[in-house]
């Protein structure tokens, strides 16, 4: 495998400095899952790839497999999604986007996550909704989180009660990491969250509809805020770790209303 050269479309999802002039970028590739690549000399003034190898740039990447890292051989810019970072809310959103993606991705995975991330970024470009104080941001992020869970095979069961198997068209629901329960059916120590009928309706739409349709339909601000919290809860339960950037983003949303 060493010295093998490969070419693939890739989305840059992270970067960190290495030594005085080098940098390591993390990319989601269409063909090889997540990869870390060394970019020699990129931090020197006037480097030809300066400004291109940044998060949310979609590139055609030529990489070379090395001992500890791969190396960037060549780069062509396909698309720049960095416009997302234009505002503070955008900054919060991009951080959350990257955090969700980076936790799920791994080397050698199929290109599903790459395709998903690209679809969502394209959706963002088409919709161009305002970031500040907008429920669409929360719809968008809820939809993204649940889609990531879906490709991980961890979508919660929402049509029937997980315990008794009966329909759940009644009040008194709770949500656990695996799905919904009647409140009276909850047993054991699993962590659960109360879920109102209104929230359940939105939650179901988030899981079953495309992001674009969700945003066209819209919904009430306080409901989607609660639903996004539930999506983050399910995601956190799955990973046993908190999405830290969500707290930051939530504070932004609440302050700007």
Q: Which stretch binds Zn ion (CB under 5 A): 30-38, 70-78, 103-111, 155-163?
A: 155-163
Counting contacts by CB under 5 A, is residue 161 touching Zn ion?
Answer: yes
For Zn ion, the closer of residues 46 and 188 by Cβ is 188
176 touches Zn ion (CB under 5 A): no
DSSP 70: E
CB of 165 to Zn ion, least distance (A): 7
Give the interface size with Zn ion as a residue count (CB under 5 A). 5
Return the SS3 of 217: helix
Q: Which residues of 173-198 are buried (b: 16+ CB within 10 A; e: fewer)?
A: bbbbbebbbbeebeeeeeebbebeee
Please, which residue, 118 or 182, has the CB nearer to Zn ion? 182
- Least Cα distance to 120 among 227, 246, 13, 221 occurs for 13
Part in contact with Zn ion (CB under 5 A); list of ranges 20-28, 43-51, 70-78, 175-183: 175-183
Task: Report the number of secondary-structure helices (H) and strands (E) in the chain.
Answer: 7, 8
Q: From the CB of 159, what's the least distance to Zn ion, in Å?
A: 12
Q: Please, which of residues 185-214 interact with Zn ion by CB under 5 A?
A: 185
Q: Which is nearer to Zn ion, 83 or 164 (CB)?
A: 164
Q: Which residue from 204, 202, 201, 156 is spatially nearest to 181, judged by alpha carbons? A: 156
Of 168 and 231, nearer to Zn ion (C-beta) is 168
Cα end-to-end span (Å), the chain = 54
Q: What angle do CA 256, 96, 124 make, to 5 degrees?
A: 80
Tokens of 127: 């919709």
Residue 98 vs residues 22, 24, 39, 57: alpha-carbon distances, Å: 22, 16, 20, 12
Verify binding: residue 182, Zn ion, rule CB under 5 A.
yes
- The CA distance from 160 to 164, in Å, is 8
Binding residue for Zn ion, selected from 164, 213, 247, 254, defined by CB under 5 A: 164
Q: Are 6 and 32 in contact (CB under 8 A)?
A: yes
Q: How far is the CB of 136 from Zn ion (least distance, A)?
A: 34
Residue 190 CB, nearest distance to Zn ion (Å)?
A: 14
Residue 89, token pair as written in the block: 């809310």
Q: Which stretch binds Zn ion (CB under 5 A): 50-58, 73-81, 176-184, 236-244?
A: 176-184
- Provide, rounded to whole angstroms, the least separation between the CB of residue 17 and Zn ion: 53
Q: Which stretch binds Zn ion (CB under 5 A): 71-79, 89-97, 161-169, 235-243?
A: 161-169
Pick the closer one to Zn ion by CB: 108 or 165: 165
Whose CB is nearest to Zn ion?
161
Q: Note whether 171 binds Zn ion by CB under 5 A.
A: no
Q: Which residues bind to Zn ion, rule: CB under 5 A?
A: 161, 163-164, 182, 185
């Amino acid at each position: 495998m060493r010295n093998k050269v490969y070419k693939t479309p890739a989305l840059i999802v992270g970067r960190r400095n290495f030594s005085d002039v080098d940098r390591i970028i993390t990319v989601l590739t269409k063909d090889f899952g997540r990869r870390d690549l060394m970019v020699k000399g990129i931090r020197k003034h006037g480097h030809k790839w300066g400004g291109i190898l940044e998060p949310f740039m979609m590139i055609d990447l030529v990489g070379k497999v090395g001992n500890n890292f791969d190396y960037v051989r060549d780069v062509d810019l396909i698309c720049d999604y960095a416009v997302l970072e234009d505002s503070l809310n955008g900054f919060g959103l991009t951080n959350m986007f990257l955090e969700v993606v980076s936790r799920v991705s791994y080397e050698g995975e199929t290109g599903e996550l790459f395709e998903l991330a690209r679809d969502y970024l394209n959706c963002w470009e088409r919709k161009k909704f305002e970031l500040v104080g907008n429920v669409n941001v929360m719809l968008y992020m809820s939809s993204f989180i649940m889609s990531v869970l879906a490709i991980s095979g961890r979508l919660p069961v929402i049509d029937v009660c997980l315990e008794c198997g009966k329909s759940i068209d009644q009040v008194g629901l709770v949500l656990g990491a695996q799905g919904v329960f009647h409140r009276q059916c909850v047993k054991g120590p699993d962590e659960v969250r109360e879920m109102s009928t209104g929230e359940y309706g939105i939650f179901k739409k988030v899981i079953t509809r495309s992001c674009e349709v969700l945003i066209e339909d819209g919904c009430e601000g306080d409901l989607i805020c609660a639903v996004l919290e539930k999506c983050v809860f399910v995601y956190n339960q799955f990973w046993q770790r908190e999405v830290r950037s969500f707290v930051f983003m939530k504070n932004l949303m609440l302050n700007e209303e």
